[in-house]
Amino acid sequence: MTDAEPCAAPGAQAKTNEGAHPHAHDSDVVREFGGTKGVAAIMVLSHALLYYMWIAWRYAGGSAPHPVGVADIGPWLGRMWAHVVEGASPSLWALGIYAAFLAQQSIFAVVMPGFDVKGLPIPSENGRRLDYRCNALACWYGTLVLAAALHFSGIFPLQRLYERFGELMTVAILASNAVAVAAFVAAHLRRRTHRMSGSFIYDFFMGAELNPRIGALDLKMWAEIRVSWILLFLLTAGAAAHQYATHGVLSAPLIFMLLAHGLYTNACMKGDECIPATWDFFYEKWGWMLIFWNLAGVPFLYCFNSMYLASRPPIAHSAAYTIFCFSLLLAAYYVWDTSLAQRVHFRMQERGTYIKRKAFPQLPWNTLENPRFIQTAHGNRLLVDGWWRYARKVPNVADAVMALSWGLVCGFDAFLPYLYFCFFVVMITHRASRDVARCRKKYGADWKRYEEAVPWVFIPGVWTVLVAFASLVGRSSS
């Protein structure tokens, strides 16, 4: 379940201020990420990050490769490129596997059983609410059954995903860029552009169309829910299959990563009815940023801890340390899952669209009864109860703690397992600043009331420790 949520949801009976539309700023063009130069740098660095992580795992044993002095920068870059050519060149095999996976998820998204929910009103389409097919759980379980059948029958052993990871990653990167170009061109040809800035590079990065669809297939829902998280789990399963095939055993750390990525993926699947109310869906356009990170970045970046573990002899921590890692993961997952559920269920109850699902696991305290909130003049209600009485970004802290646990279970022999955590801290800190800027503009004086009621953006103390740890890891790797 993504935490890219809007500030609040429209209250069912709330009155707006002088007829203000709940999404009055939907057409405002705001230059973010440093504008054209900033997004150009992000696109370049995003590609470089994936290959850097792959080289660190595949050729440097998890350490952070770097040039030795200024004179070595050129030769070092040459060595990096040689590694990419040697181990990550695209192949027809990789293209076939990746295309087959995308096709399978597309078919499942259309034909698997589920139910429909309506998204938020779309200001640019006169308040029209799109229908979303919520069948991600059936797609998830169906994919697991299919993957197990292919693996155990010998038709497609999952360890091939580990063995040919480099070429698969390159194909995913190329495909995501191709899809981004196609989506941008299609939006212009169909005259479905929205909130354009006039800068080609910036608009390509942010996207041109808000809600692209191919027939019954909603491309945002498909990419963000079906492709990214299910592929992440399959890649981790491939790492586990490689370790078992090589050493005849599954280590506790790899079992941990299977659990971590399984819980994360399952949470997104069992809560897919909440996704259409998120910021990604009702505000962010489907551009390079969402396309690249859903089709390539998320699955191939988040799985590097699993690949690192599978490439080494099985690690055996002490029983106490192993229990600590599992406990930290499960505690953080509980806070993350229930805090997101509390907020989304609050919104859905206000709109009268709440559905009590039977999907596993439904954790205690995931729905609040008669929660406290702040009524805004804008017409929205800001939740100040449950986990949300303590901080405005509780799920982000829990998410960061989970990311930290992924590194801790790998031990302290290398930097690679902690790079995702450092990346995540930077990413959510920036995203929080974007959210705060939007909400201050949107709610004005009411946002000040909200900040007084919930003064902390992140949980004090815990966040300080996380940032300090990230800084320490960064210095130790240099």
Structural contact between residues 314 and 251, judged by C-beta atoms closer than 8 angstroms? yes
- The predicted pLDDT at position 380 comes to 82
- The predicted pLDDT at position 458 comes to 77
pTM for this structure? 0.87
- The predicted pLDDT at position 8 comes to 38
Give the chain's residues under pLDDT 50.
1-24, 463, 470, 473-478
- The predicted pLDDT at position 386 comes to 93
- The predicted pLDDT at position 415 comes to 87
Q: Where are the domains of the chain?
A: 1-30+317-478, 32-311
- The predicted pLDDT at position 278 comes to 76
Nearest to 457 by CA among 477, 431, 475, 421: 431
